[in-house]
Chains A and B, each alone.
Chain A
């Protein structure tokens, strides 16, 4: 089942159901005095209709979803780098976080070379330290507490 148009319809359909059901948990009120649930409910229903139309329209379509290995590698590494950054920042300080996040991101490239990635990470780390801590004096620790920053 990799018909792209039908999958798109299904994707939006699922969102529509979640939103519409979620909206019912809030008071709907009336049209004269709208509650917090009414507008989201309307949007969810509209999205549901569009999703159904999309599925119907896409049934005979030949476009497929194809995901390549290179794409997944880039996606996973980018997201991993960002998530690592978010989780580590408060605990490891800016320098270590930037260094590691940049390394993780580098793995996402198809032309990844460890030595070059290390050089790039150090350059970016130093650049960020100067720009954000020295020049813009962002309120952030430079080093992890156990190193004594």
Chain B
């Protein structure tokens, strides 16, 4: 555990200026994340450009705030309206919404915040302790090991994607191909630019994210206006009772443990962790029949697990440059816009940014606890804003934000094109999340593939001779094998069916 590093992080981050922006990030993140139909990914995509005017450390602190704010905003919507913004808060909605219907929305929201805070705090310590170790290991990685690592990451994202596996593979490949667009770093050839100068720097990452997450969400919501039954009742009694705490405390502990462990897996353990935690709670509960009818452990466990997993998923993202989920991919893209390149050298190259991020993750968690509980009334009011007012605003703000990234209206057109492609994806029943992962990893994968083959003089066996590389590939193969195995396949279908 690197205490000096952690101390550096806190001295970097703890200025009034930074705290103010972190606060602003948490506030805006929650405010927008609460809006139905806007999960963390579109929220971050929408608010991302706001951070581009700031200096790196401040921007990252604000991003961390936005990140946690949007996560918690999603849980709030799940509890109060039974509209989970993303797959990880589906579990929260199961019992959280039932609690709300029984007039216990206050305790449900409070326990979600407390659980998230504890999960976040413990896993922040794990991030601080494990990242330097993993970065040290990663420094020994050769290009072939990196390539295999990315293969593993992509395989994980395919395994965890819902629906047809072949489609997930295809979507990842399309993402990798999109990442090829633009000037090739080695030869200077302009690839797939359609003769457009605007594309020679590649496709703007924010444009892809907005098209796929923000605009396509709007289109989806316009097509199926959902019945929203928000609790107009005043939320009374925010604090959980003593009995609540007694039941919820061990659930939070178990959830934190499960989340911290699963989050480290590349490819997105967050979804897995919420379901695992829910299943564990149901199994150990004194009265399993309560589940689905407002069991507080069913909120406390998965919420802690989710936040802990989200946090520890920063470990592979920061030290290996391997984002686990669409939201961490967004965050990584944002870091790269700010000139921070995640990877094993990040701790030497920009320790203030690395430790600053670790510290701000924790500060973001605290602010979340301080901000969200007193402001619950405000969030509930936000939930009642009619969609007819919201969606033109979402579209316009996204456009302005997108323009602000490069001062190029071309990027906005690109986002419009991706909104159309996203619609096709929905119609063809393809999930878009793995695309973003492929898009970010594409250029890195090509570069490492090229270097590995250069060193081995074109010998493909280098990937299966080097010990680290072959180990990673074997794990990937094992995952594929498990997925094809009938038992797990059924289980996976059950999990995703329960989500629908």
Contact = CB atoms under 8 A, between A and B. Distances in A.
Contacts of A35: 187
Contact of A124 (B177, B393, B424, B429): B393
Contact of B392 (A7, A83, A120, A136): A120
Interface in B464-478: none
B310 to A, nearest CB: 29
Contact of B174 (A15, A22, A31, A110): A15
Nearest to B400: A132
Interface in A8-45: 8, 11-12, 15, 19, 22-23, 26-27, 30-37, 39-40, 43-44
Contacts of A33: 454, 458
A73 B265 CA distance: 41
Contact of A89 (B164, B409, B419): B409
B399 A138 contact: no
**Interface size grouping (class) on chain A:** 35 or more
Contact of B184 (A19, A36, A63): A36
Nearest to A105: B392
B101 interface: no
Contact of A105 (B225, B395, B400): B395
Main secondary structure of the interface of B (DSSP, over half): helix
A27 B255 CA distance: 52
Interface residues of B, number: 62
Contact of A50 (B53, B173, B218, B428): B173
Given A11-B428, A57-B166, A86-B412, A40 B191 contact: yes
27 contacts: A8-B170, A11-B428, A12-B174, A26-B189, A31-B453, A34-B449, A36-B191, A50-B166, A57-B166, A68-B223, A71-B223, A71-B423, A75-B219, A75-B419, A77-B222, A79-B419, A83-B416, A86-B412, A103-B392, A109-B222, A109-B387, A110-B225, A111-B225, A111-B388, A116-B388, A120-B392, A124-B396
Interface of A: 4-5, 7-8, 11-12, 15, 19, 22-23, 26-27, 30-37, 39-40, 43-44, 46-47, 50-51, 53-54, 57, 63, 65, 67-68, 70-71, 73-75, 77-79, 81-83, 85-87, 89-90, 94, 98, 101-103, 105-106, 108-112, 116-117, 120-121, 123-124, 127-128, 132, 136, 138-140
